[in-house]
Amino acid sequence: MSDLFIRFRWVILTILVFVFVTLFTAEFQQAQTTAVLASALRQSTPLLFGALCGVLCERSGVVNIGIEGQMLLSAFVGFMVASATGSLVAGILAGMATGALMGAGLAGLSVTLQGDQIIAGTVLNIAAFGISSYFFQQGLTLPSGKTSPVSLGPLADLPVIGRVFFINPPLTYLSLILIWLVWFVLFRTRWGLWTRSVGEVPSAAETVGISVARVRYTNLIAGGCLAGLGGAYLSLEAVGSFERMMTNGRGFVALAVMIFGRWNPIGIWGAALLFGYASAVQTQLQFRGWLADDPQFIGMIPYVVCIVVLAGFVGRARPPAAIGQPYSRE
């Protein structure tokens, strides 16, 4: 555990600085601080789902540039199903299934057919955009409304923390559990060992009897479920409706989050919170009337942060060695 703190010291330090800045700018008004932090958590959740999808794919050696498309189409299908059946659970499951199906498609293109992984992911993105725009009908609503927050009893009464972490809708809780679940699977189970070895030296993994194709397929499909949850979060939990292009680049920011978090779920959580914070500050600045005449500069903040982080950290972070290479038995 202490090992983790050392490895992620920059992420942790940055978050601490941001939390401090929040407390400072809010002039220690508890309500405002809480609002910014809660909004940071809300904004970070879809990035977290997307980045956890990315880490499962990349740890097994497959670049997934199609997370954006997986999230967009899942948001769409989840919304349509929930709107038609009136059941949010059905909508969420449909979103997961959509993501998983697209993950399987990506695996088919990049593992079985050994195509270029980035082009395969781009196909997913364009297809998701086309399908969701073509079949979308204006004016549909959710009969049940979006998912509602659940308060976790006495924990929710804690100052600041309680409001931020313990009064949340279900998918947000799920994302917080999934961080630890994905970490456990990757670093404490045999499957995780297989995944990581396939992502580093697939030929060696194959020599000891691990099926590279099976590991990659399973991870891409499982990752697709997570991206699907991210999509369902957007349409069913955060907004409560579907809009064209509603992912707005979050699938790509999720990839930057994954790199900044060094392909480790716990680091990814820190990175996701950082990006979520950048978006939360954006709304807070607008609310307080700073830069009110030039909202476009505020709108740039998350994307500029993403570029700066990538430029600053990518060189120093090491991706899985076999990333991007199709594997074929010789």
> Going residue by residue from 132 to 151, which x/- string records binding to other proteins, judged by CB under 8 A?
-xxx----------------
Only segment of 12-20, 25-33, 145-153, 293-301 that touches other proteins (CB under 8 A)? 293-301
Residue numbers 114-133 binding other proteins by CB under 8 A: 114-120, 122-123, 125-127, 129-131, 133
> Going residue by residue from 162 to 201, which x/- string records binding to other proteins, judged by CB under 8 A?
----------------------------------------
Chain center to CA of 66: 12
Residue 307 in contact with other proteins, rule: CB under 8 A? yes
Structure-token pair, residue 76: 């769409």
What is d(CA 188, CA 181) in angstroms, rounded to the nearest whole number?
A: 10
Structure-token pair, residue 131: 């399908």
What is d(CA 166, CA 155) in angstroms, rounded to the nearest whole number?
A: 6
Structure-token pair, residue 241: 């409706």
Three-state DSSP class for 137? coil
Q: Torsions phi, psi of 168, nearest 5?
A: -140, 160
Only segment of 1-9, 26-34, 212-220, 294-302 that touches other proteins (CB under 8 A)? 294-302
Closest CA to 163 of 20, 33, 29, 15: 33
- DSSP class of residue 147 equals P
* CA neighbours closer than 13 Å in the CB half-sphere of residue 135: 14
Residue 274 in contact with other proteins, rule: CB under 8 A? no
Task: Name which of 145 and 249 has its Cβ closer to other proteins.
Answer: 249
Residue 109 in contact with other proteins, rule: CB under 8 A? yes
Residues that bind other proteins (CB under 8 A): 63, 65, 109, 113-120, 122-123, 125-127, 129-131, 133-135, 248-249, 252-253, 255-256, 259, 293-294, 296-297, 299-300, 303-304, 306-307, 310-312, 314-315, 317, 319, 323-325
